[in-house]
Chain A
Amino acid sequence: MNRDWKNLFPSRRMIFLGSGGVVFLGLTARLAELQLFRQAEFETKAREVRIKLEPAPPHRGTIYDRGGRVLAGSKRNFYVTIRPEVAGKSREEISRVIDRVGRLLRLSDSKMRTLLQDATTPPAHRDILVADDLTWEEFAQVNVMAPELSGVSAEVGELRSYPLQAAFYHTIGYVQKANEADIQAKIKAELEAAGEALDSEAGKTRATTIRRLYKHPAMRVGKQGIEAYGEMQLKGDPGKIRLLQNATGRVIDRLPSDDIQGKPGADVVLSIDAELQNFAIQRFGADAGSAVMIDVHTGEVVCMMSTPAPDPNLFVSGIAAGPYKALREDERNPLYHKAYDGVYPPGSTFKIVVAAAALESGAMKPEDTVHCSGKAWYYNRFYNCYKTEGHGTVNLHTGIQKSCDCYFYRAAEKTGIEAIASVAHRFGLGHRYALGLTGGKAGSVPNDAWKRKAVGEQWYAGDTISAGIGQGYVTATPFQLAYMCARIAGGGNTPNPHLIVSGIDVPDYEIEPMGQFKPGVLEAVRAGMFAVTSEPGGTAIRFGALDEKNELPAPYTGARMAGKSGTAQVIDLSGRRDARGKAISNDKLPWRLRDHALFVAFAPADKPRYAVAVVIEHGVSGSSAAAPVARDLLAHALKTDPGSRKPFVPHVSTIAANEAGKA
């Protein structure tokens, strides 16, 4: 052992510990300088010039009708935001700023209260939307006043607009500011689409990006209809901009070199013809109801309307509670998509299903007759025909033509519910069609299994009798009735229905093909429907002609429509008897208790091209209220022939270039 070294070590240790002490003292001194003596300076700096990485909302895809008319587009939006941490430290300071900007923009007191509530809830370092869709004058005023309104900035962006207003409210839906539930749902959907787990690194980043984007004051989310269904495609990919902010939060400069370009959302083209849609809405006038028209050759939905409807533009910047409540409580249900979500008993329109089922199953031959005396006795009770004096002897053809209930009681009894349900499914009832919008109902095609599940009871023989005339458990949406009519008119090769031509992929995996009927079955049904409008004694004989003056070009010259009326009871008949037990006529009932009027039709009767279903709520009579509307819609469709024109193809590249130029 080296003794010299051993003696040397303690002094070396002292030197080392001494210099270590100097290092630690130096660090402590520097910390004291920064944290004790210069704290105020750094605290200011912490709120001073900072770089803000802001997501830039992408351009939302435009929705066009088949002719290229804009149904949902973007307009320039002047909006004003406030950043609470910059507006002030205390509630009073923030309140003062909100007060001033609120007076400038003439905001309501309740709006200002909500704003203050929002602005005083942490975190304070985010931009809160004060007002948008401002006029240029209001925007300029805020800009001029800006130096006195700390934390307030006036910005320019894009806002969704619906130029045709109410016409497409139900189908296209609307956009609104995203709430927490929307954000959660979008995060979930996008992570699923990307195949990333929420707790993975990539998943977290994606979730944060989505959250930031939807929190942006200029960003909206699709809440309903196509806007909601196609959110991911319509939205596009957000870009990012780097902004340099000063101590008051005002953006001093943009650092464009660091911009990350976003990608505009996909443009969507619908098969609907806006002109036909508008015509339908005008034709309905003050009536509430819906109409759906389908091109039999292509399966394209050329009209799908529900009326009345609110203006979706009201929702984009947030609708006030009062008007919204009024809309919700309106007995004409303006918020409801009657064509897609409304389920109605199909009434006598279902007789064409029963007729087809009777022939297909062999239970009846077309020439088999039934005697109608105005009522019929089944299973210990009478079933009435709507015509109390009876139709006399009827066969399948005259049964459809005159809509004789007794004939269809018998037909249903002989055919049986299972065979009827099978044909109803083949005609497309009981299926929720995926069209690319939210909502949608399947309706019900009852049979024994269905009733045990849905009602918890076995199927009684009497249920079949009611089903024979489309009452009881049978329900369908106007959309389904239109497509049913298209299948009857078009036969086994009718294409599946679709509403979206391009932009969003809408698969419908569960749709069942109709298959081929025995020869003569569909022909006999179509002949019966032709008789309804075109042979003496038909229930809608006055409304068969679509081109009385032979003005339409071939092949529509002198076209007639074929159809079937229906009347759906709103409540059980027993509820509509007066004190003496006498039935009250529809006209004397309050509006909301009257029967719904239905009509399904196709035209031209000999070479079907368009199939339509019209439902007028509480319209009382299918043959006199709904039939003329169906006639006018089909006549208009034949005149303008939207199905013959190829749907619009948007030029993606030019749109993207325009947006880039504007930004």
Chain B
Amino acid sequence: MAMMIRKDTLLYKLTQLHWFLLLTIIALAMFGSLILFSAGSSAHDLETGNLKIDASYAIAHIWRFVLMLGVALVVALLPLRLWASLAYPAYFIGVLLLLGVELMGNIVNGSQRWLTLGPLTLQPSELMKIAVPIALARYYHQMFAAGRNGLWVHLIALVMVLVPVAFVLKQPDLGTSLMILGTGCGVIFFAGISLRVVVVVIALVAFMTPVVYFFGLHDYQRERIHTMWDPDADPLGKGYQLQQGMIAVGSGGLAGKGFMEGAQKELEYIPEQHTDFIFTIVAEEFGFAGSVVLLLAWGTAIFQGMMVAGHSRSAFGSLAASGFISTLLLYVGINIGMVIGLLPVVGIPLPLISYGGTAIVTVMIGFGLLMAVHLNRANDMTLRGLF
């Protein structure tokens, strides 16, 4: 290595990027576009019997990824302190936007999630997936610096989590509200809340779940959970997507049916197969082997992320990173879990693989932050002087 690169240049920073993590992300996204290529194509088209190629999903996916990779690198290379300073404003703007959605949002798929501002459509609940962990990280960072770590500190943090969760739940968007809640709880857990409290909370949740199921949920949410336990009850209705998805997964076997050879997709049996149910194509065409490889790739990314969190000298860095990793684990676990019938169908995409714009934006900004934490791991950052 030429030791001539000065430490304060952009080039030096680039060489110090977490390249292993970066390559894992790129590999996942490329695998995603391969699967999306297959989602549009078919080796023996139902109509013509010939090879049918439709790369439009794959190409759009790649463009979106390349664009967001650029954004992630910008996020990574800007000073971490900047993101810390933006944490509270982002959080408050997010809450205000959620309030805006509540008052005048657009209704999509029966729920209000979007806010239209001129040509832009915003989904503030996605913003909160990033804003909540970094706001919490900054909050804890300052509390720790002041030597405070009593239970009340964690209770204030919990309130900071519950406000946006309540708004998102009211939209109603069960999946996203669970994600924000999980992410926030993750940060509180990493911030050192007493394990006894954690155990009590888990016990309480276990007790409250049936209560919430019967009194706190919308009918459609209850139905989704119900069909998960008994998809055969209504094979033409609500359980249909899940059942057909599981048939696709199960019939894949050990090695899969082969690239573009999936049969279920051709008959358009599985609604939303290129978005939330993309994993059914992976499992049907690449089998158990391919599915495990995909799980391992995600495991690697999550493990690397946790290592980054541990190596950061600043509490802000550690907690922001841990929060984002919690989000990732929730994304992957909930998505695959629902497709293979372990969890209710809640409408959460598989990041970097599923087709669609919002999740990739959130996840790539998160990875940018993660890499920023990595670059700034030696900096213990006093956050004094920030508003």
Q: Which residues of A contact B (CB under 8 A)?
A: 1-2, 4-5, 8-10, 12-13, 15-17, 20, 23-24, 26-28, 30-32, 34-36, 38-39, 41-43, 45-46, 49-51, 121-123, 125-126, 180, 208, 211-212, 215, 255
Contact = CB atoms under 8 A, between A and B. Distances in A.
B340 A30 contact: yes
A20 B45 contact: no
A17 B45 contact: no
Nearest to B330: A23
Interface stretch (B84-92, B94-102, B215-223, B243-251): B243-251
B190 A16 contact: yes
A36 B192 CA distance: 41
Given A42-B250, A123-B45, A9 B190 contact: yes
A30 B250 CA distance: 10
Nearest to B240: A51
Contact of A13 (B191, B298, B309): B309
Contact of A2 (B144, B247, B325): B144
B154 to A, nearest CB: 12
A34 B315 CA distance: 42
A1 B145 CA distance: 5
A126 B145 CA distance: 70
A211 B145 CA distance: 69
A16 B306 contact: yes
B49 A122 contact: yes
Contacts of A49: 235
B144 A255 contact: no
B155 interface: no
B306 to A, nearest CB: 6
B149 A4 contact: yes
B342 interface: yes
A30 to B, nearest CB: 5
Interface in B304-332: 306, 309-310, 313, 315, 318, 322, 325-326, 329
A215 B191 contact: no
A36 B247 contact: no
Nearest to A207: B47
| Residue from B145, B252, B309, B380 with most neighbouring chain A CB atoms (10 Å) | B252
Given A23-B333, A31-B291, 16 more contacts: A1-B313, A2-B149, A5-B149, A5-B192, A5-B315, A13-B190, A16-B322, A24-B333, A27-B337, A27-B342, A30-B342, A31-B340, A43-B250, A43-B251, A45-B251, A50-B269
25 contacts: A2-B149, A4-B149, A9-B309, A9-B318, A16-B190, A17-B303, A23-B337, A27-B295, A28-B295, A31-B288, A31-B292, A34-B246, A35-B250, A35-B252, A38-B250, A42-B250, A45-B251, A46-B248, A49-B235, A122-B44, A122-B49, A123-B46, A123-B266, A125-B46, A180-B48
Query: What 10 pairs across the A-B complex have the smallest Cβ distances?
Result: A42-B250, A2-B144, A35-B288, A34-B250, A122-B44, A39-B253, A46-B251, A42-B251, A43-B251, A23-B333
Nearest to B336: A27
Interface string B160-178: 0000000000000000000
Contacts of A24: 295, 298-299, 333
A1 B236 contact: no
A607 B147 CA distance: 117
A13 B254 CA distance: 33
Contacts of B47: 208, 211-212, 215
A46 B265 CA distance: 11
Given A1-B144, A2-B147, A10 B310 contact: yes
B283 interface: yes
B69 to A, nearest CB: 25
B105 to A, nearest CB: 25
A618 B247 CA distance: 71
* Interface size classification for chain B: 35 or more
B312 to A, nearest CB: 9
A10 B269 CA distance: 46
Contacts of A36: 253-254, 288
Contacts of A9: 190, 192, 309-310, 318
B133 interface: no
Contacts of B246: 34, 42
| Residue from B251, B288, B342 with most neighbouring chain A CB atoms (10 Å) | B251
A211 B299 CA distance: 44
Contact of B283 (A12, A31, A46): A31
A187 to B, nearest CB: 11
Nearest to A204: B54
Contacts of B253: 35-36, 39, 43
B250 A20 contact: no
B236 A35 contact: no
Contact of B46 (A1, A35, A45, A126): A126
A46 B333 contact: no
A23 B329 contact: yes
Contacts of A16: 186, 189-190, 306, 322, 325-326
B341 to A, nearest CB: 8
Interface in B262-310: 263-264, 266-267, 269, 283, 287-288, 291-292, 295, 298-299, 302-303, 306, 309-310
A39 B295 contact: no
| Residue from B49, B250, B264, B306 with most neighbouring chain A CB atoms (10 Å) | B250
B115 to A, nearest CB: 25
B315 A2 contact: yes
A45 B263 CA distance: 12
B51 to A, nearest CB: 11
Contacts of A15: 189
B201 to A, nearest CB: 14
Nearest to A37: B250
Given A2-B147, A12-B192, A24-B299, A42 B380 contact: no
B144 A12 contact: no
A82 to B, nearest CB: 15
Contacts of A39: 250-254
Given A5-B315, A27-B295, A35-B287, A13 B144 contact: no
A3 to B, nearest CB: 9
Given A17-B306, A31-B340, A1 B380 contact: yes
Contacts of B309: 9, 13
A211 B50 CA distance: 14
A43 B48 CA distance: 24
B333 A5 contact: no
A198 to B, nearest CB: 12
A376 to B, nearest CB: 67
A43 B287 CA distance: 13
Contacts of A1: 144-145, 313, 315, 380
Contacts of A41: 250
B145 A31 contact: no
A20 B191 CA distance: 18
A259 to B, nearest CB: 14
Given A5-B144, A39-B253, A126-B46, A32 B288 contact: yes
A212 B267 CA distance: 12
A6 to B, nearest CB: 8
Contacts of A31: 249, 283, 288, 291-292, 295, 340
Contact of A35 (B249, B299, B325, B326): B249
Given A8-B192, A27-B342, A31-B249, A2 B145 contact: yes
Nearest to B268: A53
Nearest to A27: B336
A126 B236 CA distance: 22
Given A2-B145, A27-B340, A50-B267, A42 B247 contact: yes
A12 B251 contact: no
Given A5-B191, A36-B254, A46-B251, A28 B292 contact: yes
